[in-house]
């Protein structure tokens, strides 16, 4: 358990769950259901889910981030008798549910975003906006951090990583300069990495709407946490645990994630295991984007077990 302090706990609890009304509506919640929040985070979605299922219902909350899970546990303590909080990876959903003796569920939510609670904590190393160690691990028990990857992969491997996971146009230039700079000393902080990226990109391309280091940080985070691999692996396992009529809601935040969800759903629909409820992904309303700008890139896809 982590002692995060009262102010930090309150800040984390203020995190706004993305597309909450849409998730609650499409999950088709009823009292007595068993629902899995496979990325419970700080518990924003789960709090509202529990309000609708808590009479005889059960919520299973899973997260790789032990700090977020502690906050969710505190936030939802009034429902503790109907909740299971699991520190783990949703790609291991089969092992997790079997350990709880749960054979079928009535709905599942996957919110694939990194929360502001994680991004705003400099010690986690997710953001180029704050000076911090090059970490980026969602689960701090993992052995490989961003520091390890960027200081040990060769130039070609770094370049490929930046393109495959960040679709970074300047992947070759960034990889070349990074390897050159680490010959002087290891690249150890978020600011060091950010500065290298900015220097590698030609000056006239440094002033787009997003920060020049955005795609690099995304790519490294995805690689450290094996995020894309886990999405496909997790969805492939989740479908068989859904009761007939149960729904799966997946919120993604960039095209690489959304593509995996889209094709996974299409594959299971072709096998007549699910029915796709949202042929095109839903997006946040203008009102939500105004209230919570970080939701602007969210995409929600929903499927129902046949």
pLDDT tens by residue, 216-248:
999 999 999 999 999 999 999 999 999 999 999
User: Are 71 and 34 part of one and the same domain?
Assistant: yes
User: What does 224-242 look like in DSSP terms, one character per residue?
Assistant: HHTHHHHHHHHHHHHGGGE
The C-alpha angle with vertex 215 and arms to 299 and 180, in degrees rounded to 5, equals 165
Question: Does any domain span residue 1?
Answer: no
Q: Give, in order, the Cα–Cα distances in Å from 34 to each of 10, 100, 306.
A: 28, 12, 18
The Cα 100–Cα 103 span in angstroms is 9
User: Do residues 103 and 251 both lie within one domain?
Assistant: yes
Q: Are residues 112 and 257 in the same domain?
A: yes
Q: Which of 114, 120, 133 is nearest to 193 (CA)?
A: 133
> Which pLDDT value is given to residue 15?
66
- Report how far apart, in Å, the C-alpha atoms of 247 and of each of 17, 116, 271 are: 19, 27, 17
User: In the listed set 225, 244, 262, which residue is the last one of a domain according to the structure?
Assistant: 225
| Rg, Å, the chain Cα set | 20
Could you tell me what percent of the chain has a pLDDT over 90? 88
pLDDT in tens, 173-186: 999 999 999 999 99
Average pLDDT over residues 195-215: 89
From 181, 201, 225, give the residue that closes a domain: 225
Residues 19 and 113 in one domain: yes
How does residue 92 score in pLDDT terms, banded at 50, 70 and 90?
very high
Together in a domain, 136 and 203: yes
Whole-angstrom distance, CA of residue 78 vs CA of residue 74:
9
Residues 236, 295 within the same domain: yes
Where does the pLDDT of residue 14 fall: very low under 50, low under 70, confident under 90, or very high at 90 and above? Answer: low
Domain containing residue 21: CATH number:
3.40.50.150
| Whether residues 217 and 233 fall in one domain | no
Q: Alpha-carbon distance 133 to 115, whole Å?
A: 18
3-state SS assignment for residue 99? helix
In a domain, 55, yes or no: yes
200 is in which domain, residue-wise?
126-225
244 part of a folded domain: yes
109/33 same-domain check: yes
Residue 84 falls inside a structural domain: yes
Q: Based on the domain organization, do 180 and 299 belong to the same domain?
A: no
pLDDT score recorded for residue 120 = 87
Residues 32 and 102 in one domain: yes
Say yes or no: 106 and 237 in one domain.
yes
Q: Between residues 3 and 284, which one has the greater pLDDT?
A: 284
State the total domains in the chain.
Answer: 2
For residues 275 and 132, state if they share a domain: no
1 band by pLDDT with thresholds 50, 70 and 90: very low
Domain end residue (candidates: 225, 257, 282): 225
């Amino acid at each position: 358990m982590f002692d995060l302090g009262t102010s930090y706990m309150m800040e984390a609890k203020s995190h706004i769950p993305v597309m909450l009304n849409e998730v609650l509506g499409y999950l088709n919640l009823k009292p007595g259901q068993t629902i899995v929040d496979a990325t419970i985070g700080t518990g924003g979605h789960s709090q509202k889910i529990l309000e609708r299922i808590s009479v005889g219902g059960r919520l299973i909350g899973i997260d790789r981030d032990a700090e977020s899970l502690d906050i969710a546990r505190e936030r939802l303590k009034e429902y503790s008798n109907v909740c299971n909080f699991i520190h783990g990876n949703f790609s291991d959903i089969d092992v997790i549910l079997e350990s709880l003796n749960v054979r079928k569920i009535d709905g599942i939510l996957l919110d694939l975003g990194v929360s502001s609670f994680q991004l705003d904590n400099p010690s986690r190393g997710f953001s180029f906006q704050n000076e911090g160690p090059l970490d980026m691990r969602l689960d701090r028990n993992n052995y490989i951090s961003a520091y390890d990857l960027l200081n040990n992969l060769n130039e070609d491997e770094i370049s490929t990583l930046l393109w495959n996971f960040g679709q970074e146009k300047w992947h070759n230039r960034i990889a070349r300069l990074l390897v050159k700079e680490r010959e002087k000393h290891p690249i150890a902080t978020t600011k060091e990495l950010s500065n290298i990226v900015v220097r590698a990109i030609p000056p006239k391309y440094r002033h787009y709407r997003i920060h020049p280091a955005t795609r690099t940080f995304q790519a490294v985070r995805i690689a450290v946490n094996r995020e894309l691999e886990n999405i496909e692996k997790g969805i492939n396992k989740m479908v068989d645990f859904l009761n007939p009529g149960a729904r799966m809601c997946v919120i993604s935040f960039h095209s690489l994630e959304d593509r995996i969800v889209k094709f996974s759903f299409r594959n299971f629909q072709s096998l007549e295991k699910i029915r796709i409820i949202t042929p095109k992904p839903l997006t946040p309303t203008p009102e939500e984007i105004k209230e919570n700008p970080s939701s602007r890139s969210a995409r929600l896809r929903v499927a129902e077990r046949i």
